[in-house]
Amino acid sequence: MKDLVVALYDGVVLLDVAGPVQMLHGSGGYRIRHASVDGRPVRTDVGVPLGADLALGELDGPIGTLLVPGYAPLDGDRPGEAFLNVLRDLGGRAHRVASVCTGALLLAEAGLLDGRRATTHWAACAELESRFPRVTVEPDAIFVRDGPVVTSAGVTAGIDLALALVEEDHGPDLARAVAKYMVVFLQRPGGQSQFSVRGAVPTVRHPALRRLLDAITAEPAAEHTLAAMAARVTVSERHLTRLFRREIGLTPGQYVEQIRVEAAQALLETTADGVASIARRCGLGSDETMRRTFLKVLRITPTAYRRRFRTSHLPTTPTTPTTPTTPMTPMTPKETA
């Protein structure tokens, strides 16, 4: 029986707690305790109260696994300094530390991610990277293991994390049995870039570059070669590349590619148009080119993406592409066979 402590605080995301705990409890292989700073119940982000078995400070001796769930990434209440102080102490005594969603930022604040690779909810990756430069952020990962620390992406990724812990502690057969019973993937296909909401790039300050980005978004299938874009804003190709890297963190080609992919995502989600037609309308050329690009950027094929995210009632007539005003957060390209 493995020891696992869930660290609770007011504002904790309910599913960040319930998802992993359900998986771990279902395996039958863990002694699970819930602990808050003062040992009293906490109120989750949706108002549901959660009871605590004990205070975090009452935990003595070594801890098997310390699980730190997250807070709502955009406007949720964060725990105070008292929680972080206890987290620093417990993190140093735990055999393994794991976080769900923005719990990674709490680990980082406690100094537990210094010099390590980590991930978090896609909407908080930029914050994690900018606030904690000693952390190497992997924005597309569902979960990342670096030594005794495991971090996972947003919300339901805590389920993936829990299954990985079960597999590590008790073997793949038990993890597979739990996944089947709970009707979830043992290892979900693709990374979290396929879930990223459009518009996650920082505000661009350069006015000419803003106009260019708007033009690319308005017509993703138009000619957007480096030479054409540089001529449009009357700067050299080299200077334009520097502007993109400084303001967006992407090359011009990467930006155009991601805008086209997101335009294609929107059409796959909301229309019944064929892949070849969507590829042409979004500037991705042929269906095969679109397939290769999706695998590189999203680690999933267009057909699989449509099955996963399309609306239940698709229109029967072509619609105008709904495209973003800015691209998704840059992702680390990963080829998938």
CATH code for the domain of 245: 1.10.10.60
Q: Is the residue at 315 inside a domain?
A: no
Distances (CA, A) of 217 to 73, 151, 158, 246, 324: 27, 34, 34, 19, 6
pLDDT tens figures, 209-255 = 888 988 898 899 999 999 999 999 999 999 999 999 888 878 999 99
Q: Residue 327 has what pLDDT?
A: 38
> Do 110 and 6 have their domain in common?
yes
* Structure tokens, 213: 């980005």
> Do 177 and 219 have their domain in common?
no
Residue 48: pLDDT band (50, 70, 90) is: very high
Q: Is the residue at 199 inside a domain?
A: no
Domain boundary (188, 216, 246) is at 188
75 vs 126: CA distance, rounded Å: 15
> Do 84 and 9 have their domain in common?
yes
Q: Is the residue at 278 inside a domain?
A: yes
Q: Residue 73 has what pLDDT?
A: 76
Q: Which residues of 84-116 are buried (b: 16+ CB within 10 A; e: fewer)?
A: bebbeebbeebebbbbbbbbbbbbbbbebbeeb
201 vs 73: CA distance, rounded Å: 16
Residue 337: pLDDT band (50, 70, 90) is: very low
> Do 180 and 241 have their domain in common?
no
> Do 159 and 67 have their domain in common?
yes
Q: Is the residue at 286 inside a domain?
A: yes
| pLDDT score of 336 more than 50 | no
* 231-236 CB contacts, 8 Å cutoff, 24+ apart: 233/208, 233/209, 234/208, 235/208
Q: Is the residue at 107 inside a domain?
A: yes
Q: Give the range of the structural domain holding residue 15, as residue numbers without chain letter.
A: 2-188
308 phi and psi angles, rounded to 5 deg: -80, -35
105 vs 128: CA distance, rounded Å: 6
User: Taking Cα atoms as reference points, which of 306, 13, 100, 329 lies closest to residue 196?
Assistant: 329
Q: Is the residue at 239 inside a domain?
A: yes
Q: Residue 84 has what pLDDT?
A: 95
Strands 149-152 and 54-55: unpaired
Residues contacting 68, CB < 8 A, separation 6+: 7, 87, 97, 98, 99, 100, 103, 106, 107
User: Taking Cα atoms as reference points, which of 3, 36, 38, 1 lies closest to residue 17?
Assistant: 36
CATH number at residue 104: 3.40.50.880
> Do 212 and 249 have their domain in common?
yes
- Bridge-partner residues for 32, per DSSP? 4
Cβ–Cβ < 8 Å for 147, 10:
no
Q: Residue 322 has what pLDDT?
A: 43
Catalytic, out of 15, 56, 101, 275: 101
Q: What is the mean pLDDT of the chain?
A: 86
Minimum mean pLDDT range among 48-57, 148-157, 284-293, 320-329: 320-329
Q: Residue 323 has what pLDDT?
A: 40
Strands 136-137 and 117-118: parallel
Catalytic status, residue 282: no
Identity at 41, one-letter amino acid code: P
| pLDDT score of 316 more than 60 | no
> Do 51 and 173 have their domain in common?
yes
Residue 203: pLDDT band (50, 70, 90) is: low
> Do 302 and 170 have their domain in common?
no
Quick one: DSSP state of residue 199? -
Q: Is the residue at 329 inside a domain?
A: no
Q: Is the residue at 331 inside a domain?
A: no
Count structural domains, the chain.
2
* 286-291 CB contacts, 8 Å cutoff, 24+ apart: 290/264
> Do 94 and 172 have their domain in common?
yes
CA 216 to chain centre: 25
117 phi and psi angles, rounded to 5 deg: -85, 145
227 vs 209: CA distance, rounded Å: 14
> Do 15 and 85 have their domain in common?
yes
> Do 227 and 107 have their domain in common?
no
> Do 148 and 251 have their domain in common?
no
